[in-house]
């Protein structure tokens, strides 16, 4: 709750991501997340395509490349 929740978020997200979140920049948050090793929706989807869980057509429908 309150400021404690923010501190928890900062430790989970990392300083760069939490700073970008506070600025409200989706692009900056996404870039920082990739730098910290978070998979993009497309990368996650490609793993599911390889595992046979999702079709490539469906992945292409919901993601941009």
pLDDT tens per residue across span 3-18: 444 444 444 555 555 5
Cβ count near 29 (within 10 Å): 19
Q: Supply the pLDDT for residue 50.
A: 97
Provide the pLDDT confidence category of residue 42 given band limits of 50, 70 and 90: very high
Q: Supply the pLDDT for residue 58.
A: 95
Q: Supply the pLDDT for residue 25.
A: 72
Across the chain, which distance is largest between two alpha carbons, in Å?
43
- pTM to 2 decimal places: 0.55
Q: Supply the pLDDT for residue 56.
A: 95
Distance set, CA 41 to CA 11, 15, 46, 51 (Å) = 22, 22, 9, 15
Integer Cα distance of 64 and 41 in angstroms: 9
Integer Cα distance of 25 and 4 in angstroms: 23
CB 21 within 8 A of CB 30: no
């Amino acid at each position: 709750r309150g400021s404690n929740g923010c501190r928890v978020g900062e430790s989970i997200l990392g300083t760069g991501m939490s700073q970008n979140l506070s600025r409200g920049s989706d692009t900056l948050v996404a870039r920082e997340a990739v730098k910290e090793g978070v998979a993009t929706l497309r990368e996650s989807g490609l793993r599911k395509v390889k595992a046979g869980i999702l079709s490539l057509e469906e992945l292409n429908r919901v993601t941009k490349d």
